[in-house]
Amino acid sequence: MLTSKKRRISLLRYWTTRYAITLAIGLLVLAMLSVVWIRHTTLENRLDVSEFLAAELAGRIAGSQQGSEGRTSAAYLDQDMLDARDELMKMESPPSIFITDAGGTILSEGEQDLYEENAFPSSVLEKNSDVQTFSGLKNDMLVYLIKKPIVVDDVTFGWVVMLQPEDEFADLNDEYRLLALLIIGSGLLGWAAIYILSRRLSRPISAAAAAAKEIRNGNYGVSLIPSKAKEQEVYDLVTSFNDMAVRLEQLEAIRAELLAGVTHELKTPVTSISGLLQAVKDDVVTGDEAKEFIRISLSETERMQTMINDLLEFNTFAANALPVSTAPHELNELTKRIVHEWNLARNPEGIPVHFQAYLHDLLVLMDPDRFRQIMMNLLNNAAHAIEEKGQMTITVRNEDPCALVDVSDTGIGIPDSEQTLIFERFYRGENKKYKVRGLGLGLPFSQLLARAMGGDLELKETSPLGTTFTLKMKKQNRPPK
C-alpha cells in the first residue's frame, strides 16, 4: 500500500505551534492598539493636569492682586503644588512656568530655561485654545504650551504660561514596560495552557494510534483504559476502540473457524463419496447394495452442491450483483402458503406449527422468491433449535409503518455471548455447530435480503424458553377506490 511521503508532525506540536503563532499575532495587534490608547489617554490626562495647575496659579495670582492698585507683582510659585503635579503625572522634570503681563512680556519665570525671549507673541496668547504646540524655542524644540489668563475684576492683567517638551509629555516608559509585562505574561500563560490541554488531548489519541498499530499487526488483545478519560468525546473514542478490538478479535476467531468449518463441511461429503464409489469400483458391494451406495453418493453430491450454491449466491448478493424486484403482495396469504409448503416438505419430525394471520389484509412490497428464502431459513433454524418436544408460532402483525412477521420457537434459545454474532456471515453457534451441518450463511443472507426489500430482520427476544425473530416488511398502502 502506497503511503504519503508528506512530513507529518505530532498533534501536540501542531496545535501548540499554531496556537503560539495565533496568540503572538493577536497579542501584537492588541499591544499596538494598547500603545495608541495609552499614549492618547496619558497625554490627555497630563495636559488636563497641567491646564488645571496653570488655572490654579492664575487664580492665586489674581487673588494676590486684589487691592494692589493694579500693579502686577511677581507671583509666588507653590513648589508643593509642582511636586504634587509631577508625582501625579509621573514626570521627572517640572515644566517651565512663566508669568507675563497682558501684552505677553515675561515678568517671572521658573527654574527651567526653555524660552530665551523676553515676551511671548501676542498671536500665541490670543488663541482660543489654552493648550497648543509651540516651536519658537532654541534648537526648534517642539513643546506643549498651556496658558491661563490672570483676571481681576473681569480685566486680564497677565498670563500664566507653562512650557513642557513634547518628548517629556509623551515619555511613557513605565506604562510601556507594564504593558510589555502583561503581554508577555499573557502570551506565556496562554501558550502553557494550550500546551497542557493539547498534551492531555493528544495522550489518549496517541494511545489509540499505538493500539491500532498493534491490531494491524494481528494483536487483538490490546485495550485502553476508559476511566482516565474525563472528556465525553475521548471517553467515547476509548470505549468504541475497545469494543472494536473485541469485535475484531471475535471476527478473527470466526474467520479461523470458518476456514476449518468450510474445509470440514466440503471435505466430509467428498471423502464419503470417494469411499462409496471406490467400494463400488472394487466390487466390494454389488447389486442392490451398490445401487444404494451410488444413491448415497448422489445425495452427498447434491448436498455439497447446495452448500457451494449458497456460498456463491451469498457472495453474489453481497456484491450487489443479484437483483431484487419488489411488488405489492398480500402478506397473510403468502406467509400461510410458505408455512404450508414447509410443513409438507421440510418437517419430517412433525413439529406443530401455528399460524396466526392478521385480522385484515396487509399489502407489502416484496420479492416473493426472496421472501420465501427468508421464511424457509427462519423455519429451519426454529426447527433446529427444538431439541425434543416443542412448537413453532408464525404471527403476522401490523405496526405502522411496517408489517411484521414473528417466527417463534420453544427451543433452547441463544446464549448471551452469541447474540451479537448470529448475523455474522459463516458464524455458527456452539449448540448448532455439531448438530446441523452448514456454512452459517442462513441468517446473514436472510438479513441482506430483507434490507434489500426495504425491511429488516432482527432478533426480537431469546431465552432458554425459546427465541423470536421479527421480519419487518415495507407496507404498500391500498389505492383509494
For 248-269, write each residue's pLDDT tens digit.
777 777 666 666 656 656 666 7
Give mean pLDDT, residues 457-466.
90
Question: 298-308: per-residue pLDDT in tens?
Answer: 877 876 776 67
pLDDT digits (tens, 9 = 90+) for 185-227: 887 887 787 777 777 777 777 777 777 787 777 777 777 776 6
**Residue 105 near residue 118, CB atoms below 8 Å:** yes
- pTM of the predicted structure, to 2 decimals: 0.45
Judge whether residue 334 has pLDDT over 80: yes
| pLDDT at res. 184 | 84
| C-beta of residue 346 within 8 angstroms of C-beta of residue 309 | no
- Whole-angstrom CA distances from 67 to 148, 155, 156, 160 are 21, 14, 15, 20
AA letter at 328: P
Mean local confidence (pLDDT), 104-125:
76
Pairing type for strands 363-366 and 327-330 reads antiparallel
Section 348-360 average pLDDT: 87
Those residues whose C-beta lies under 8 Å from the C-beta of residue 171, and which sit 6 or more positions away, are 91, 92
Q: How far apart are CA 234 and CA 231, in angstroms?
A: 5
444 touches 310 (CB < 8 A):
no
Contact of 407 with 457, CB cutoff 8 Å: no
The pLDDT of residue 397: 92
- Structure confidence at residue 481 as a pLDDT band (50, 70, 90): very low
Q: How far apart are CA 33 and CA 57, in angstroms?
A: 36
Alpha carbon distance 231, 240 (integer Å) = 14
- Among 409, 414, 419, 339, which residue's Cα sits nearest to residue 371? 339
Span 163-187, pLDDT tens digits: 877 777 666 677 777 878 888 888 7
pLDDT digits (tens, 9 = 90+) for 70-97: 444 444 455 555 555 555 555 556 677 8
- Mean per-residue pLDDT, 104-115: 72
Per DSSP bridges, beta strands 392-399 and 353-356 are parallel
Per-residue pLDDT band at 2 (split at 50, 70, 90): very low
Q: What is the DSSP string of 393-426?
A: EEEEEEETTEEEEEEEE-S----GGGTTTTTSTT
Q: Is the pLDDT of residue 146 over 80?
A: yes
The answer to whether 475 touches 453, Cβ cutoff 8 Å, is no
Mean pLDDT of the chain: 77
- Please report the pLDDT score of residue 80 as a whole number: 57
Q: Which residue has the higher pLDDT, 386 or 138?
A: 386
- Virtual torsion, Cα 6, 12, 17, 18, nearest 10 deg: 80
pLDDT tens for each residue of 366-424: 888 888 888 988 988 888 888 778 899 999 999 888 899 999 998 888 888 788 878 87
User: Judging by DSSP bridges, how do beta strands 327-330 and 155-165 pair with one another?
Assistant: unpaired
Residue 472's Cβ-side half-sphere holds a number of Cα atoms within 13 Å equal to 15
pLDDT of residue 315: 64
Instruction: Look at residue 5 and tell me whether its pLDDT is greater than 60.
Output: no
